[in-house]
Structure 1
Amino acid sequence: MSAYNIFIVEDDRWYGEILQYHISLNPDYKVTRFETAKDLLNNLYQQPDLITLDFSLPDMLGDKLFQKIREVNSTVPIIMISSQEKIAVAVNLLKMGVTDYLVKDDSTKDLLWNSIVRIRENQSLKKEVETLREELGQKFSFEKTILGQSESLKKIFSMMEKASKTNINVSITGETGTGKEVVAKGIHYASERKKKAFVPVNMAAIPRELIESELFGYEKGAFTGAVARKAGKFEDANGGTIFLDEIAELELSVQSKILRVLQEREVVRIGGNEKIKLDIRVIVATHKNLADEVKKGNFREDLYYRVIGLPIDLPPLRERGNDILILARHFADDFAKQNKLGAVTIASDAKSKLLHYQFPGNVRELKAIIDLAAVMCDNNEIKAADITFNSTRKDEPFLFGQKTLREYTVEIIKMYLKKNNDDVIATARMLDIGKSTIYKMIQDGELK
């Protein structure tokens, strides 16, 4: 998530620095300070998320500056801070459209903090509503969300449809890059909960010491830095769906607390006593085998049975056949459109190369490969030479793909010849085959 960009305009340097320091205590805020109206107007191109204005600036009064800002940006929230306590001034500014009006005194910095929190929450809610309207504006279709026509994918569509008709918990497994979050979103937006929030939480991306406060929220003063009440992810998802990605990465102590939330269908913020009732659908995902993790003692068995619900196992891309080409075509068209390249085609030798690759990074890797190929190709035609595989996986590519037994044999012997610096005798000994077999393949042109 990008930083929340706040501009503070205050000609009193000492007072401005106090406000800047206080607001910057929130690490999510990026705070920039200006001392004149001119400096602010020259920097509006940076698109601030919020502006605080001193009413009495040396080069322009606050009401005039407010109008100037509105000529450039009609939506940015503006908080006016003034030493004037006249009610008429405040009323006039609020009528003009100022978001909040604060009088300078000893409590200003705390009032400003709370005002920013409220404004940011309202902005987030508006963005969520806009996104939801956009999502709901189109008739939902699994086939439009997840591209492919393979039999394995059709089975996934069937499972997603069954899941969307009830509130059963869903567990999604599959290799990294297979589209677990896409499937989770698909189930949510096809269900009766589609008008409520879909809240994704990547367990592996949250620092260990912050996981509980992120999930359960906290009350003001619950710990150092808790300057205001904050709702957790479970509370944010109330009425909708919470997607717990990489759930197998959670420590056992946190697992037990999540189990209690799911059992009781209620959550208590850290430092609080209020029990907040929850009405949520839970979807979890992991690239690990949860049953194996239970056997190893890494995952609680009782939580396993609570979240397993309807299991959906996503096939790796290498097992989806011609879906590879359907996705490649989509990614090529999308990249060309975004970069105004014109129509980009994929040559037959490039298609063959794609079909014979294992894709350890799955759909995510395919997109990266096609994006690069679209840049590297000539005359808007992607050829085999334009396709570069940069896999970090150690498995050899001949283990996957659509090849005959003879072709696999040739690949294996090639690999061992390379490892042995083309020593035929050493290769034959390692593979337990006759050296004459290798010489015959060289003679027939199968090996060089």
Structure 2
Amino acid sequence: MNYVPESVRIFVVEDDPLYMKLVRYIAELNPDHIVHSFENGKSCLENLHENPKIVILDYSLPDMTGKDILMEIKKYNPDIQVIVVSSQESINTAVSLLKHGAYDYITKDNETKDRLLNAINNAKRFDSLTSEINALKEELNQKYEFDNSIIGESPAIQRVFKMMQKAVKTNITVSITGETGTGKEVVAKAIHHNSDKKSKPFVAVNIAAIPENLIESELFGHEKGAFTGAIARRKGKFEEANQGTLFLDEIGEMDINLQAKLLRVLQERELTRIGGNEVVKFDVRVIVATHRNLAEEVKAGNFREDLYYRLLGIPIELPPLRDRGQDVILIAKHLLGNFAKENKLGNIKLSKEAQNKLISYPFPGNVRELKSVIELAAVMCEDKLIEVEDITFNSLQKEGQFLFEEMTLRDYTFKIIRHFLDKYDNNVLLVAKKLDIGKSSIYRYLKEMEGEE
């Protein structure tokens, strides 16, 4: 299929007939340009509904100034690229027009033709990039719509949706808790991309992943020479996230001495870089997350009580996957579809038996573990159907997994006793103490177990 270039509509606003002819000639050198001419500002503004991509504007017109026309054009559509052409060589005029949104300022001289042609081509490229960026932003926002970013219909996840919907209406701090792998950062991004800050930065910081001696610099920045290796000024994450959202993951791992500084920064909405004196104000929406119970950490003396209350805001507790029922299958199918599409594997399905196996497993690693299990199963399956034998669990938490098998209470009892005997090297007295039963009961169970083998 042959590529057909998109037509570009260009307005030329010029009251000098000879110069109008020159500018039209330059603009029409490209046959894909549709050029309209206007002798004054009013007629140009009255035809903006034609949606030009570029306006080539004479600065000195009989009815309006170039600046006034520029501002009206930008008010109508800020994405229209305005190239101002003028006989004036005033730097102040050029700077003022550029500040008010002009794409370029060109003086009328012997080099006008080449400069104008370059300006038109550059404006087209800029417009194309702007459109592409806007499309990507829209795609990103759609990706993080609640229904697209968080899969599930269970009552547990519906409660999460309800809290998220409340969170996006204001800039209140949000605290997200949940086990590892439940999707805390996904929730944070979804809140950001559905709030009025969605066009601003989302900056994520994993507190646990940064060495303790660097975390202060990472968050608040530093000045040149503040410490060995500080060869230049560096902005911290708070400044990077200005006007947007700062996501502090694993906040429970922060050193208690740094917690005091974080509290002050959050309260005052200002900071001072390490080694500096300048006070830097910021406007940031803060979302924190942790897999720890911060209330218990406060009681244990590991987390400041005042910071705890400062960060609490809207609390969102993410349920573990084992408490979400059929959501496991919905998420598994979603992950399977994505993996198959990315790797061109076609349409892979889950057998009913495989689905039952997934539902009966507790997924201590939650969605992150489910993703790993599903991707391996997709690779291992035959005939585009995942069977029971294709699903392999490799959890590090082996203890107690026999509870997910369907057995009688008597069989469970045998399993529990055998598990503890294996764990404590067949020390019957210790196991009896751990299970709070008599050692004679253990010997009786052992005898019955031997009789059945």
Q: Normalized against structure 1, the TM-score is what? A: 0.64
- CA shift at 1:413, angstroms? 6.4
The counterpart of 2:223, out of the listed 202, 219, 237, is 219
- Aligned-partner SS, 1:284: strand
- CA shift at 1:143, angstroms? 1.5
Structural RMSD (CA): 3.5
Q: Distance in 1 between matches of 2:216 and 2:348?
A: 47
**Mapping 1:178-189, distance limit 5 Å:** 178-189=182-193
- CA shift at 1:276, angstroms? 1.2
Q: What whole-Å deviation, never above 9, does each CA across 1:236-255 have from its counterpart, x for those lacking one?
A: 11111111000111111111
- CA shift at 1:217, angstroms? 0.7
Q: What whole-Å deviation, never above 9, does each CA across 1:291-326 have from its counterpart, x for those lacking one?
A: 110111110111111001111111100111111111
Match of 1:267 in 2: 271
**Mapping 1:47-446, distance limit 5 Å:** 132-136=137-141, 138=142, 141-399=145-403, 408-409=412-413, 412=416, 415=419, 432=441, 435=444
- CA shift at 1:224, angstroms? 2.4
- CA shift at 1:408, angstroms? 4.4
One-letter identity of the residue aligned with 2:205:
V
Q: Distance in 2 between matches of 1:173 and 1:156?
A: 11
One-letter identity of the residue aligned with 1:432:
S
- Greater CA radius of gyration, 1 or 2? 2
- Whether the 8 Å contact between 1:331 and 1:370 is mirrored in structure 2 is yes
How many residues are treated as equivalent by the alignment?
322
One-letter identity of the residue aligned with 2:250:
E
Match of 2:30 in 1: none
- CA shift at 1:430, angstroms? 6.4
Q: Distance in 1 between matches of 2:134 and 2:227?
A: 32
Q: Distance in 2 between matches of 1:236 and 1:141?
A: 24
- Whether the 8 Å contact between 1:248 and 1:290 is mirrored in structure 2 is yes
One-letter identity of the residue aligned with 1:303:
L
One-letter identity of the residue aligned with 1:249:
E
Q: Distance in 2 between matches of 1:348 and 1:161?
A: 34
Q: Distance in 2 between matches of 1:382 and 1:204?
A: 37
Q: Distance in 1 between matches of 2:360 and 2:447?
A: 24
| Change in 2 beyond 3 A, CA 1:431/1:392 | farther
- CA shift at 1:412, angstroms? 3.8
Name whichever of 389-398 and 185-194 sits farther off: 389-398
Q: What whole-Å deviation, never above 9, does each CA across 1:391-417 have from its counterpart, x for those lacking one?
A: 112431134588875774575467579
| Change in 2 beyond 3 A, CA 1:218/1:403 | farther
One-letter identity of the residue aligned with 2:140:
E
| Change in 2 beyond 3 A, CA 1:256/1:431 | farther
- Whether the 8 Å contact between 2:176 and 2:290 is mirrored in structure 1 is yes
One-letter identity of the residue aligned with 1:159:
M
- CA shift at 1:150, angstroms? 0.6
Q: Distance in 1 between matches of 2:296 and 2:249?
A: 18
Q: Distance in 1 between matches of 2:152 and 2:405?
A: 18
Q: Distance in 2 between matches of 1:436 and 1:226?
A: 67
Name whichever of 372-381 and 171-180 sits farther off: 372-381
One-letter identity of the residue aligned with 2:341:
K
One-letter identity of the residue aligned with 1:142:
F
Q: Normalized against structure 2, the TM-score is what? A: 0.63
- Whether the 8 Å contact between 1:318 and 1:401 is mirrored in structure 2 is no
| Change in 2 beyond 3 A, CA 1:266/1:403 | farther
- Whether the 8 Å contact between 2:363 and 2:369 is mirrored in structure 1 is yes
Q: Distance in 2 between matches of 1:434 and 1:219?
A: 70
Q: Distance in 2 between matches of 1:325 and 1:361?
A: 16
| Change in 2 beyond 3 A, CA 1:408/1:240 | farther
- CA shift at 1:127, angstroms? 11
- Aligned-partner SS, 2:214: helix
- CA shift at 1:132, angstroms? 3.7
Name whichever of 273-282 and 257-266 sits farther off: 273-282
Q: Distance in 1 between matches of 2:301 and 2:329?
A: 41
One-letter identity of the residue aligned with 2:169:
K
- Whether the 8 Å contact between 1:178 and 1:314 is mirrored in structure 2 is yes
Deviating 4+ runs (over 3 angstroms): 126-134, 398-422, 426-431, 433-443
Unpaired segments ≥5 residues, structure 1: 1-91, 97-125
Q: Distance in 1 between matches of 2:289 and 2:133?
A: 23
One-letter identity of the residue aligned with 1:397:
Q
| Change in 2 beyond 3 A, CA 1:248/1:416 | closer
- CA shift at 1:432, angstroms? 2.8
- Whether the 8 Å contact between 2:219 and 2:238 is mirrored in structure 1 is yes
Q: Distance in 2 between matches of 1:274 and 1:284?
A: 27
Q: What whole-Å deviation, never above 9, does each CA across 1:212-261 have from its counterpart, x for those lacking one?
A: 11100112222222222211001111111111000111111111110110
Match of 2:14 in 1: none
Q: Distance in 1 between matches of 2:250 and 2:214?
A: 16
- Whether the 8 Å contact between 2:364 and 2:395 is mirrored in structure 1 is yes
- Aligned-partner SS, 1:196: coil
Name whichever of 347-356 and 138-147 sits farther off: 138-147
